[in-house]
Amino acid sequence: QVQLVESGGGLVQAGGSLRLSCAASGRSYSAYAMGWFRQAPGKERESVASISGSGSSTYYVDSVKGRFTISRDNAKNTVYLQMNSLKPEDTAVYYCAAGYYVSLATDPYHWWGQGTQVTVSS
């Protein structure tokens, strides 16, 4: 079991940056792949980025490639999402999740955080 708590969301103007953090507690955190997902009002939840347990493999959805970076510090039991060049369409509630293998799909992820709001103004 892993418990996850996101932080770092807020209001930022287009072109700005934010860094989201996901603090984990529980057993065998480093064994899990981690992902970031987001859900905008009226839209389905979508994948943003994922990272393997060791941090050696990362994946991004096309819309954020070159702008977002996922990373993890297993010594601190924390996963990060650095978001640069933010656009209004990035506005959403962002969730982190832990799962059994790295993927941009939701299926492998069994534990989810509560979410943190990111709002990007024009």
pLDDT less than 70: residues of the chain: none
Length reported for the chain: 122
Tokens 């980025």 -> residue: 49
Q: Which residues pair with 58 in a beta bridge?
A: 51
Token pair recorded at residue 12: 């930022």
- CB count in 10 Å sphere of residue 108: 17
pLDDT value of residue 78: 95
- Cβ atoms of 21 and 116 within 8 Å: the answer is no
Render pLDDT for 67-83 as a digit per residue (tens, 0 to 9): 999 999 988 999 999 99
Helical H runs in the chain? Answer: none
What is the distance between the alpha carbons of residues 37 and 48, in angstroms, rounded to a whole number? 5
